[in-house]
């Protein structure tokens, strides 16, 4: 066999569909419904010429300086990645011992990637690729963050796990976690805590200051969702310079493409444009949650740009197909405990209205009654 057993056995991550269907309303991968700021598009266009033959900055130096100013820290507290997904993988590789060849692994947390369930479904895949162990601990029944005392009582949580990955606000539930609660958990943890804040800009609070005050905490951010730059693949981590330096050692030399660096830098210069978009999305989110509620959906409270909602009547999977037939694409996860739910990205007001009208039409179909 040419392929390593670990790779042969591996169940790869399944990203959301990216169909190119005309007129499709795409509410399945939490993309921002608004385009990047006009000046950001200009900056990218202005950079597309003969200079594409040159390598970009290997350290993304200017972008790191600007982010440092934005967050009130130093460039050495920041590492940029090809999307935050790359940085999650780097964190696993730099901080977690593969389980093979680690005979004490069963007794301590050196080879453990710890995560709450449900959370971002990429995490266990990254652990599996690395040959690390996964400790998957259920969230509380209402998907809130279990407290330290409850985790101790439960007996499953490992306070010595090498790396704990927490999506906050959480995906796919949309729930926000209080920074005070996260701080308590971070302080109780002996290994590294990585707080994945992909949706923080749509939330009431964020935990970035924990990465600047606690030496074992990393915060991940991305330009994908809030800054409408999924296509460009730029994310970053903030944290203690010793942790950042460790990840920096093992990354590819030119991991962040040049146009992505330019787009991200320009985005930071137009914060007001993006803040207005965050407010619009939050307003649409409230409207959509209320409208779905009136139609019999049970919508979980969301601090993100999506809503996890349990549809009435037929199984969620049938709703996925019924909406797809009406050219509206949402996300359904074939996994407990979210199998009964749809994850719906908050689009523009017009897209949200189209979704609500499609739901009404589906509910009115005779075969779906009762």
Ligand X SMILES: *Cc1c(COP(=O)(O)O)cnc(C)c1O
Name residues contacting ligand X, limited to 311-340 (CB under 6 A).
none
Does the protein bind ligand X through residue 224 (CB under 6 A)? yes
260: DSSP letter = H
Residue 12 CA to residue 122 CA, distance in Å, equals 9
Which residue lies nearer to ligand X by CB, 77 or 222?
222
CB of 314 to ligand X, least distance (A): 27
Distances (CA, A) of 350 to 35, 152, 296, 353, 355: 15, 47, 21, 5, 9
Residue 153 CA to residue 237 CA, distance in Å, equals 32
Q: Which of 214, 253, 290 is nearest to 299 (CA)?
A: 290
CB of 235 to ligand X, least distance (A): 4
Name residues contacting ligand X, limited to 230-289 (CB under 6 A).
230, 235
Does the protein bind ligand X through residue 196 (CB under 6 A)? yes
143 CB contacts (<8 Å, ≥6 apart)?
118, 170, 173, 175, 300
Binding residues for ligand X, total number by CB under 6 A: 13
Which residue lies nearer to ligand X by CB, 225 or 331?
225
Does the protein bind ligand X through residue 31 (CB under 6 A)? no
| Angle between the N-to-C axes of helices 258-268 and 38-47, in degrees from 0 to 180, rounded to the nearest 10 | 150
Q: Give me 216's structure tokens.
A: 């074992």
Residue 284 CA to residue 280 CA, distance in Å, equals 6
Q: Which of 75, 198, 307, 320 binds ligand X (CB under 6 A)?
A: 198
Give the nearest residue (CB) to ligand X: 83
Residue 118 CA to residue 177 CA, distance in Å, equals 14
φ, ψ of residue 249 to 5 degrees: the values are -60, -35
Name residues contacting ligand X, limited to 162-181 (CB under 6 A).
167, 171
Which residue lies nearer to ligand X by CB, 230 or 295?
230
Q: Which of 121, 222, 261, 284 binds ligand X (CB under 6 A)?
A: 222
Contact region with ligand X (CB under 6 A), list: 108-116, 224-232, 295-303, 327-335:
224-232
In the stretch 78-117, what mask flags binding to ligand X with x, by CB under 6 A? Answer: -----xxx--------------------------------
Q: Summarize as ranges the residues that interact with ligand X (CB under 6 A).
A: 83-85, 120, 167, 171, 196, 198, 222, 224-225, 230, 235
């Amino acid at each position: 066999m040419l392929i390593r057993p670990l790779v042969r056995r591996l169940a790869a991550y399944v990203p959301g569909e990216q169909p190119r269907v005309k007129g499709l309303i795409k509410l399945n991968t939490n993309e921002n419904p608004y385009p990047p700021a006009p000046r950001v598009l200009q900056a990218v266009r202005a950079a597309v010429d003969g200079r594409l033959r040159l390598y970009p900055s290997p350290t993304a130096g200017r972008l790191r300086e600007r982010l440092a100013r934005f967050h009130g820290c130093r460039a050495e507290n920041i590492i940029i990645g090809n999307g935050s997904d790359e940085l999650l993988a780097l964190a696993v590789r730099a901080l977690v011992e593969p389980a093979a060849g680690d005979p004490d692994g069963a007794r301590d947390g050196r080879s453990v990637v710890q995560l709450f369930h449900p959370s971002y479904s990429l995490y266990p895949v990254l652990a599996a690729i690395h040959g690390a162990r996964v400790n998957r601990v259920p969230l509380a029944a209402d998907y809130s963050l279990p407290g330290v005392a409850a985790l101790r009582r439960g007996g499953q949580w490992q306070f010595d796990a090498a790396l704990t990955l927490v999506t906050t606000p959480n995906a796919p539930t949309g729930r926000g976690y209080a920074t005070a609660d996260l701080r308590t958990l971070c302080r109780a943890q002996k290994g590294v805590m990585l707080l994945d804040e992909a949706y923080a800009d749509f939330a009431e609070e964020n935990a970035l200051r924990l990465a600047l005050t606690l030496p074992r905490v990393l915060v991940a951010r991305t330009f994908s969702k809030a800054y409408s730059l999924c296509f460009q693949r730029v994310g970053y981590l903030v944290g203690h310079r010793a942790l950042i330096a460790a990840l920096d050692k093992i990354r590819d030399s030119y991991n962040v493409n040049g146009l992505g660096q330019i787009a991200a830098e320009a985005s930071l210069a137009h914060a007001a444009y993006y803040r207005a978009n965050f407010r619009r999305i939050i307003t649409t989110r409230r409207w959509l949650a209320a409208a779905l509620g009136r139609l019999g959906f049970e919508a979980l409270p969301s601090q993100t740009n999506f809503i996890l909602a349990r549809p009435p009547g037929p199984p969620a999977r049938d709703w996925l197909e019924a909406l797809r037939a009406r050219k509206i694409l949402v996300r359904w996860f074939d996994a407990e405990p979210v199998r009964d739910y749809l994850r719906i990205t908050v689009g523009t007001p017009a897209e949200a209205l189209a979704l609500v009208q499609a739901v009404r039409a589906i509910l009115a179909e005779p075969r779906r009654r009762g």
